[in-house]
A = this chain, B = another copy of it.
């Protein structure tokens, strides 16, 4: 089999699938994984696809570009996203924090919902492309390559210009006394700016993040209007939060 035949097969796969795997191609083409890897590298050099760990994805950035590179499809986040959807109403201005759980919400958003979405996340902005009635305002700033969010003073100043109805805060650690905390210094700064520009703050949190804390402080717990978790909302342990006036969902 010619090298070019393999090329054609690989590219064809990518025309149909959003991702091809080294192992799969290796058996399909009957060559070693090393060869597939080298093929992918060559095609990537020609700009015909993008090499990623374990395989390759189509190169052209489009609405589906980011989706397939993120592993957000676990059940907990699905539950959280579904719960969150009911709080987004026509005409609202919503701040979307970066992260995979907010991405899921963006993806599940009804197509006829009229919203103004303000975000610093490429993936979220991309996902909203097909939502005709969603106006997207994007925060400028320095682009973090791996997570595709903008950060820095420019992003912060951008958010400060608005007065949003809701801020959807991606998964952080929440501790009744230590407050809301995150794993990244600069992203935390941006989150704080988003929170300050919003009337209500809805935090998304999987059960195991409740009662924990991370290195960088974001805001006091009582600033949250609502915490959406994957757990049943009659949970005993939730009392500390409801006592602070936070709605648990």
**Residues of chain A at the chain B interface (Cβ within 8 Å):** 2-5, 8, 11-12, 14-16, 18-19, 21, 47-50, 52-55, 57-62, 64-66, 69-70, 107-108, 122-123, 125-127, 129-130, 135-143, 145, 148, 150, 154-155, 158, 161
| Residues of B close to A53: CB separation below 8 A | 2-3
Q: What 7 A-B pairs come out closest when comparing CB atoms?
A: A140-B140, A15-B65, A61-B126, A136-B143, A60-B69, A140-B158, A139-B140
Nearest residue in B to A117 (C-beta to C-beta)? B143
Q: Are B12 and A65 closer than 8 Å at their CB atoms?
A: yes
Q: Can you list 21 residue pairs at the A/B interface with Cβ under 8 Å?
A: A4-B19, A4-B57, A5-B57, A11-B64, A12-B64, A12-B66, A15-B66, A47-B108, A50-B130, A59-B69, A60-B123, A61-B126, A122-B122, A122-B126, A136-B143, A137-B141, A137-B143, A138-B141, A138-B150, A140-B140, A154-B158
> Which B residues are in CB contact (< 8 Å) with A139?
140
Q: Are A8 and B60 in touch, CB under 8 angstroms?
A: no
Give Cα A55–Cα B62 distance, bound, in whole angstroms.
Answer: 24
From A11, which residue of chain B is reached at the shortest CB distance?
Answer: B66
A59 surroundings in chain B (CB, below 8 A): 69
Bound Cα distance A15, B21 (Å): 26
B126 touches A3 (CB 8 A): no
Closest B residue by C-beta to A143: B136
Q: A4-B52, A53-B3, A140-B137 are in contact. Are A66 and B155 (CB under 8 A)?
A: no
CA distance A205 to B235 in the complex (A): 64
Contact partners of A142 in chain B: CB under 8 A? 135-138
What chain B residues lie within 8 Å of A158 (beta carbons)?
Answer: 140, 154
* A159 to chain B: closest residue by CB: B140
- A2 in contact with B58 (CB, 8 Å): no
A109 to B137, CA, bound (A): 29
Q: Which residues of B contact A19 (CB under 8 A)?
A: 2, 4-5
Asked if B136 contacts A145 (CB within 8 A), the reply is yes
Contact of A52 among B3, B14, B65 (CB under 8 A): B3
A140–B125 CA distance with the chains assembled, in angstroms: 12
Q: Return chain B residues, CB-CB under 8 Å to A138.
A: 138, 140-143, 150
Q: A238 vs B62: C-alpha distance in the bound complex, in angstroms?
A: 38
A173 CA to B62 CA, complexed, in Å: 27
